[in-house]
């Protein structure tokens, strides 16, 4: 081989140089993201289900290793064989990518709500209004503030000398009739030096309660935190409802690499559509229309037609449906059918109905959510956030105001540096299912089935949660004892609190908070 041929043999072709250069740039960038996400998952985020979290972590570790190997191999080859101008091109490409990311972040934030709305519902309040059901929009107690919450207007920082208490939970804080639990509690306390902030978001679960406590309530300088656990759908066995993509991006307020780097806009654009409440709302049109049609059918049907409607929708096996049909047509069912025709406040939900039909037909309670393990896990880590040693230097993230950025939002990553100037307090409020405590509901549904039987497991789970948390030194208020035997505390078909239920529960919570205030 001549020297010229040898030189041509050793000189890489332009296509090879381009492909290897592109591979190096892409894998280096991706590798850095994966490595950052891996560190975020390992050292910042909180583990939920050991199996699912470890699987994601190991997958991320393997991907990081694979991408890193490709990056190193292509980089070594390029460093040895390509002219310097190609290295300049790689550096230039990296600079262009950085500028593009910054511009994309600026543009992304223009369409997003300011914090903390971005960490609560993830959309502007005007969008919320359009997504809510007609009944929710017309409820005078459901007026939304600038954060999109059922609450009066609040500032990012409490006034000097004011104790801020954050209420965290799901639809029991966001749905219902009249003023929500937080506002009624604040009214009953009647203290100028105490404000109760509503951070409730429908269709959320204990894992999000933790992230909301750590990354929303603390940066808002809430020195008291009340987490409301519903002894129903909050007892799901799934530890995770806020997804994360290898720690790089995650549904806010769960932390992620992008939010740590200050790229909140990009993170939210990529992940907000996966937010549980928005998924529910996106189906609300069809779901709401379905419930409306079901209610209209109930109102306009005879008892016989109503019996057939329930049997059909309960999807019983034909032989079982034939056996239970005479009971569904019995004279004792008339009063129950009247309840369906005219429910409390016109609020109609069908999710209890078909479980009741199944119970009547089989005598067996259907599978219900009653595993407290996940709830206990997330409540414990939330309580730990509020029991850490507090920085009394008065720097509370420069009172969180140093994090004000585009759109006036506070960077959620400040939550990790947030502290409180006084001793923080943490309370868990356990909310029972209506059938477990409200004699009126039990009596009205009795012609269909003994619905209280379906709450035995959830009530037992509540007692276990109360016992274990109390033994761990975490304050618990079980409203089962407060609401037991009080008639009319729940909407008879909807299942949420009635105004009486909210007032009764708020009185118990306010009494507990007064003890906080009386302690030295």
Which residue in 198, 257, 141, 191 sits closest to 513, CA to CA? 191
| CATH architecture assigned to 117-237+370-518 | 3-Layer(aba) Sandwich (3.40)
Nearest partner of 480 among 205, 236, 232, judged by Cα: 232
Question: What is the distance between the alpha carbons of residues 296 and 447, in angstroms, rounded to a whole number?
Answer: 21
Buried b (16+ CB within 10 A) or exposed e, 470-484: eeeebbbbbbbebbe
Separation CA 44–CA 255 (nearest Å): 8
Tokens of 58: 């190991």
Q: Are 97 and 32 in contact (CB under 8 A)?
A: no
pLDDT attached to residue 114: 87
Domain definitions of the chain by residue range: 117-237+370-518, 284-362
Higher pLDDT, 312 or 97: 312
- How does pLDDT run across 470-493, given as a tens digit for each residue? 999 999 999 999 999 999 999 999
Q: What is the pLDDT of residue 76?
A: 76
DSSP 138-159: H-GGG-B-TTSSBS----SSPP
Structure tokens at 113: 């709500």
Q: Which residue, chain included where needed, has tokens 């405590």?
A: 437
* Token representation of residue 273: 């559509």
Query: What is the pLDDT, as a whole number, of residue 422?
Result: 44
Helix (H) or strand (E) holding 163: strand 163-168
Say yes or no to pLDDT of 142 above 60. Answer: no
Torsion of CA 294, 295, 299, 301, to 10 degrees: 10
> For strand 249-250 and strand 244-245, is the pairing parallel, antiparallel, or unpaired?
antiparallel
Percentage with pLDDT > 70 across the chain: 81
Residues in the chain: 520
pLDDT > 60? residue 305 = yes
Name the residue among 272, 380, 273 with its Cα closest to residue 48. 380
pLDDT > 90 in the chain, percent: 40
Distance separating alpha carbons of residues 55 and 441, to the nearest angstrom: 44
Strand order in the sheet with 425-431: 194-198, 163-168, 224-230, 425-431, 475-478
What gap in Å lies between CA 244 and CA 342, rounded to an integer? 44
């Amino acid at each position: 081989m001549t020297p010229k041929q040898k030189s041509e043999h050793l000189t890489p072709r332009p296509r090879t140089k381009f492909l290897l250069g592109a591979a190096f740039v892409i894998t280096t960038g991706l590798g850095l993201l994966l490595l950052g996400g891996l560190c975020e998952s390992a050292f910042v985020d909180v583990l939920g289900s050991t199996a699912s979290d470890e699987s994601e972590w190991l997958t991320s570790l393997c991907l990081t290793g694979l991408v890193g190997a490709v990056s190193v191999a292509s980089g070594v080859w390029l460093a040895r064989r390509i002219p310097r101008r190609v290295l300049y091109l790689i550096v230039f490409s990296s600079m262009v990518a950085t500028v593009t990311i910054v511009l994309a972040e600026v543009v992304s934030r223009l369409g997003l709500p300011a914090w903390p709305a971005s960490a609560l519902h993830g959309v502007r309040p005007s969008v919320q209004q359009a997504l809510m059901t007609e009944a929710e929009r017309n409820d005078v107690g459901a007026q939304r503030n600038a954060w999109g919450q059922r609450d009066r207007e609040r500032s990012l920082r409490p006034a000097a000398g004011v104790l801020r208490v954050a209420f965290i939970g799901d639809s029991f804080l966001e749905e219902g009739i009249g003023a929500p639990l937080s506002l009624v509690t604040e009214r009953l306390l009647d203290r100028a030096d105490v404000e109760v902030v509503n951070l409730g978001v429908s269709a959320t679960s204990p894992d999000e309660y933790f992230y909301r406590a750590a990354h929303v309530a603390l940066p808002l300088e809430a020195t008291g935190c009340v987490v409301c656990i519903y002894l129903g759908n909050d007892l799901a066995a799934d530890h995770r409802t806020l997804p994360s993509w290898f720690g790089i991006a995650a549904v806010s307020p769960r932390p992620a690499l992008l939010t740590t780097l200050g790229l909140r806009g990009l993170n939210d654009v990529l992940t907000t559509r996966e937010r549980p409440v928005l998924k529910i709302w996106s189906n609300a049109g069809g779901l709401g229309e379905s419930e409306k049609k079901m209610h209209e059918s109930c109102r306009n049907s005879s008892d016989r037609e109503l019996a057939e409607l329930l049997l059909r929708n309960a999807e019983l096996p034909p032989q079982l449906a034939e056996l239970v049909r005479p009971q569904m047509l019995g004279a004792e069912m008339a009063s129950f059918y009247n309840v369906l025709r005219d429910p409390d406040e016109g609020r109609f939900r069908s999710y209890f109905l078909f479980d009741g039909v199944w119970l009547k037909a089989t005598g067996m309670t259907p599978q219900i959510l009653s595993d407290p393990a996940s709830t206990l896990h997330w409540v414990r880590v939330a309580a730990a956030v509020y029991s850490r040693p507090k920085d009394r230097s008065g720097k509370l993230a420069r009172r969180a105001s140093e994090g004000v950025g585009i759109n006036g939002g506070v960077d959620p990553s400040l939550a990790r540096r947030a502290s409180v100037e006084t001793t923080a307090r943490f309370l868990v409020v356990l909310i029972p299912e209506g059938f477990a405590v409200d004699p009126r509901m039990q009596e009205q549904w009795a012609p269909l089935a003994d619905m209280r039987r379906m709450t035995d497991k959830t009530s037992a789970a509540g007692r276990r949660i109360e016992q274990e948390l109390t033994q761990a030194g975490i304050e618990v208020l079980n409203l089962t004892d407060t609401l037991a035997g009080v008639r009319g505390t729940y909407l008879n078909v909807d299942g949420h609190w009635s105004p009486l239920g909210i007032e009764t529960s708020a009185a118990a919570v306010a009494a507990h908070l007064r003890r906080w205030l009386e302690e030295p």
